[in-house]
Chains A and B, each alone.
Chain A
């Protein structure tokens, strides 16, 4: 069973537009929600992360919005650039176990110049 559900599977955005990727989870024990960016042939790189005590976190053009009651969180990429074209993964983990991350299935973002 997929612990973290991610949508859309692919996304095409014009340069300068806003890219929005959504994730949902069921396990209320999750207390850490990172987003990863992966370019072809490279390992995923940690982009931004949030904990459930805040509803939003912003780093540059990247913002995570977190809705604890709905058990949803999303990544917003403002002023999207062609260099942002990559696959994005959301994930979640809890203090139980070995800090294992449960990943979404990924979103392939293409930013058109």
Chain B
């Protein structure tokens, strides 16, 4: 699998602000997965996107897969302190499941 590039590396927000992390690939992705890892914890699966242009929502989280299937984004509306952690986008093409470097989110109450 091709590694995906994720930006930003870090993001500090005030509680209540929105947050977006972006994932980009130079090649077309078969699908993209998103995981969240709390500080000191382990990664937890959030969602998988497969279709071109797909948009999925989970409460305050909105996930998008680009039309060309080369990029994806995760948007959190009105962040809460419980959103703190690192968000990883993951390319699952082939045998390997390759994690991006992740975006670490800090939320100030």
The finding on whether chains A and B are genuine partners in a shared complex, rather than unrelated, reads no
B→A interface (CB under 8 Å)? none
A→B interface (CB under 8 Å)? none
